[in-house]
């Protein structure tokens, strides 16, 4: 991808002088805070990878969890691992090496994948809301509606749409010129901040950012809103209190993640970059690229008996490697 970016950049910018790298200032410019930030974000990164990795393993190895809901959850966990991996490892490396530089191609690549995985989370939350709608409002037809082909379609579409969105922003960004300013007051290459720094006319980029962002956020939110309106109406018709609580409890974890995710992303990226305060984008970015992926495994597993049972069985196994087909083949060949 870096070669493609370099060729595209040369075609668009010709002989104009441009910068070859950016400087990521990180979350703080205080030297005494760097060690604390390193330990804190390394811990959050390891917890995120371990937590989401365990969910993926538990779902993959437990045939009881081979249902649409857990298929979507496994994809969400994978997207969360990928999302935090686009920014935090580079930030940790910069702190460890006392280097703030990132090449132009690496910066654009980081921006591309950060857009992809945040949008995948966004679309998957809508898909998961629809799954809960079908399960609660049409329980007798659930298996008929949520067939394997349809579930695969609902899984693939978020990936395709997210890459289309990221590619659109990336191709438009390649037309821009970055003259003398190469300092990014952030811990990763963020689209809105890059638009702010460009010395080119960014009106088209800002308009696309706003309208595409509006569509990307509005559709999943509308699907979530519609699904939960129907869910609430269906649950209120249940006569027993126990039945109502059981139905609502299956949606509580999803609603928690929805509120955390959209509450931060709307406030940070729904508006043009010129309207953002200096520190608001950093706080928001940490919340939805680091904190949300870290807490998702706890939210979805601690309130789900099936997931807790699968994780308990997984942790109690003597060895994860012996459970994996590729590992068994490798071991038998030795």
pLDDT digits (tens, 9 = 90+) for 40-59: 999 999 999 999 998 898 88
Is pLDDT larger for residue 109 or for residue 272? 109
**Does this model's pTM top 0.85?**
no
Instruction: Compute the average pLDDT of residues 306-310.
Output: 75
Distance CA 122, CA 134 (A): 19
The pLDDT value given to residue 157: 96
- Give the DSSP H/E element, type plus range, for residue 107: helix 104-137
Residue 128: half-sphere exposure toward Cβ, Cα within 13 Å: 25
Beta bridge partners of residue 34, listed in sequence order: none
The pLDDT of residue 263 is above 80: no
Distance CA 103, CA 110 (A): 10
The pLDDT value given to residue 153: 96
The pLDDT value given to residue 99: 85
Q: What is the mean pLDDT of the chain?
A: 82
Q: Let me know how many helices (H) and strands (E) the chain has, helices first.
A: 14, 3
The pLDDT of residue 191 is above 70: yes
The pLDDT of residue 203 is above 50: yes
The pLDDT of residue 332 is above 50: no
């Amino acid at each position: 991808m870096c070669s493609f970016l370099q060729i595209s950049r040369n075609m668009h910018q010709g002989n104009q002088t441009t910068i070859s790298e950016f400087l990521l200032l990180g979350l703080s410019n205080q030297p005494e805070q760097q060690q604390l930030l390193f330990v804190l974000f390394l811990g959050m990164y390891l917890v995120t990878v371990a937590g989401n990795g365990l969910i993926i393993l538990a779902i993959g190895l437990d045939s009881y969890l081979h249902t649409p809901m857990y298929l979507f959850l496994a994809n969400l966990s994978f997207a969360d691992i990928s999302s935090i991996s686009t920014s935090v490892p580079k930030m940790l490396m910069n702190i460890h090496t006392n280097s703030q530089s990132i090449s132009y191609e690496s910066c654009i690549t980081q921006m591309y994948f950060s857009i992809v995985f945040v949008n995948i989370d966004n679309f998957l939350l809508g898909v998961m809301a629809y799954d809960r709608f079908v399960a609660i409002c049409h329980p007798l037809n659930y298996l008929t509606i949520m067939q394997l082909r349809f579930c695969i379609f609902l899984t693939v579409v978020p990936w395709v749409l997210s890459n289309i969105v990221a590619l659109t922003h990336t191709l438009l960004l390649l037309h821009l010129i970055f003259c003398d300013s190469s300092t990014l007051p952030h811990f990763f290459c963020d689209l809105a901040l890059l638009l702010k720094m460009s010395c080119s006319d960014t009106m088209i980029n800002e308009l696309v950012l706003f309208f595409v962002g509006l569509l990307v956020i509005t559709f999943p939110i509308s699907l979530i809103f519609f699904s939960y309106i129907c869910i609430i109406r269906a649950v209120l018709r249940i006569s027993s209190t126990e039945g109502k609580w059981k139905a609502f409890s299956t949606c509580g974890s999803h609603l928690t993640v929805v509120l955390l995710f959209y509450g931060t992303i709307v406030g940070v990226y729904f508006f043009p970059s010129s309207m953002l305060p200096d520190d608001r984008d950093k706080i928001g970015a940490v919340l939805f690229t680091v904190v949300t992926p870290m807490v998702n495994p706890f939210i979805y597993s601690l309130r789900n008996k099936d997931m807790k049972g699968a994780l308990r069985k997984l942790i109690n196994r003597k060895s994860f490697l012996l459970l994996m087909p590729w590992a068994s083949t490798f071991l038998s060949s030795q």
